[in-house]
Amino acid sequence: MLYVEAARVFLDQGLDAALDVFHWPFLSILMAWLSQFAGTGLEASGYLLCAFFMAGACGLFTASAARMLPESSWYVCLVILTLPGFNAYRNELLREYGAWFFLCLSFWLLLVWAARPRLLTVIAAQVALVAGALFRTEHGHS
């Protein structure tokens, strides 16, 4: 697994060596930090992060729908539960989960900002969008 190997190299040799293994190592760096902090293995840390990001993205999808159309929240839950991207690949370590989470967070923050415009909220939405781009660069172009 490329992400686990990049995390291992990051822990042992630093960022430059991790960049030699994989050119976009943000997930691997998070895996390494979580592994050190929680005392878990690198692979387990990756699965934990992916599960958190997947659950968070699902929650943010639902929360966004509840803000826009409260009566449709249950239908959105059903649709999310059937999405192949969440269900077919849940046993794999993918950068997409982090990208989806932060993209959904950015969208949700913009819905909050639309209801109550505050500078801090719109800045947080932009930061979330940049964080999503750290996982997958194409999400930064949304």
124 neighbors 112 (Cβ within 8 angstroms): no
| Amino acid letter for position 81 | L
Q: What's the CA gap between 122 and 107, in Å, rounded?
A: 10
Quick one: 64 exposed, middle or buried, by C-beta within 10 A (0-12, 13-18, 19+)? buried
| Amino acid letter for position 87 | N
Q: Is the pLDDT score of 70 beyond 80?
A: yes
- Indicate the pTM of the whole model: 0.84
Judged by average pLDDT, the poorest of 11-15, 25-29, 69-73, 82-86 is: 82-86
Q: What's the CA gap between 46 and 32, in Å, rounded?
A: 9
**Six-digit token string for 131:** 């964080």
Q: What's the CA gap between 138 and 116, in Å, rounded?
A: 29
| Amino acid letter for position 59 | G
Dihedral, CA of residue 126, residue 131, residue 134 and residue 136, to nearest 10: -80
Judged by average pLDDT, the poorest of 8-12, 59-63, 78-82, 95-99 is: 78-82
pLDDT at 142: 47
Q: What's the CA gap between 105 and 68, in Å, rounded?
A: 15
Residues 22-48 have a mean pLDDT of 92
Share the mean pLDDT of the chain. 87
**Residue % of the chain over a pLDDT of 90:** 50
pLDDT at 12: 93
**Six-digit token string for 129:** 């969008």
